[in-house]
Amino acid sequence: MSEVLFQFLRIEAHGASAAEDLLAEANRVPSHCTHIEHPIPARWLMGSPREVTHEVASFMLQPQPFRSKSGQVLYRRTRCDQRCFVDCVASYPVETEHVKRASDIEKQALKDWLHKTHHFIQSQFGAHHIASCLHFDESHPHLHFYIVGNASRLHPGLRAEFVEGQRIKDGKERARRHRAGLKAFLDLYYSEVSSTFNYSRGDHRRSARRIPKRKDYKKWKELFEWSKEPIETELPSDSVVLHRPT
């Protein structure tokens, strides 16, 4: 009897202040990856940390629309704790050590999974999907997708909490809709990607992280200016390269 392989897809929304730490972990900066026994630099398949930082800083500087009690659409400065950084992780169900010894056919299956998963994320988030990277230094190869924008309109769970532009006030109903939005997202990924590889949908649950502490407006302006500076060195890459649509 062959082993049952399960899909793994997790999506979390963060405040802008979390971007720096999460990207440092992705790049395997020593102080941010102490949980990894033998860290290996990420393979950036699309975009770069600098591009993500630029988009986050740019978003934090933009006035955001909101609907007043009278129904009029107005604009105000972005809140320092606004969730605008979405991190989506997709894990390949075959262990890394096995992948390293895999046949050409099995390696092609990994590449097919990479491309199908990337296409799924791109179809869901479009231009908000800024970058993605691949890690081979944990138990299973996995992809990180970095999405920037108003998380309330992008994260499937948070998006489900709104009806006609207004967030549901009832806490229990909001939580129910949040779970339903996430389930629909996972079901769609299973339908479009995992089922084509005969992976099982499963029912793995993981608690959400809390919103990080607030940072001031000045920091995003400084990061925005820094991210526009030219890149002096090339980022690591591999034979698999993915592109944003033009």
**Residue 163 amino acid letter:** V
pLDDT greater than 50 at residue 23: yes
Write down the pTM of the prediction.
0.80
Phi, psi torsion values for 182, nearest 5 degrees: -65, -40
In the chain the domains, ranked by start, together with CATH numbers, are 8-66+74-215 (3.30.930.30)
Q: What pLDDT digit, counting tens, does each position of 103-137 carry? A: 888 889 999 999 999 999 999 999 999 999 999 99
Nearest CA to 131 among 229, 76, 72, 53?
53
Question: For the chain, what is the mean pLDDT?
Answer: 84
Q: What pLDDT digit, counting tens, does each position of 40-91 carry? A: 989 999 999 999 999 999 999 988 877 777 778 888 888 888 999 999 999 9
Q: What pLDDT sits at residue 221?
A: 56
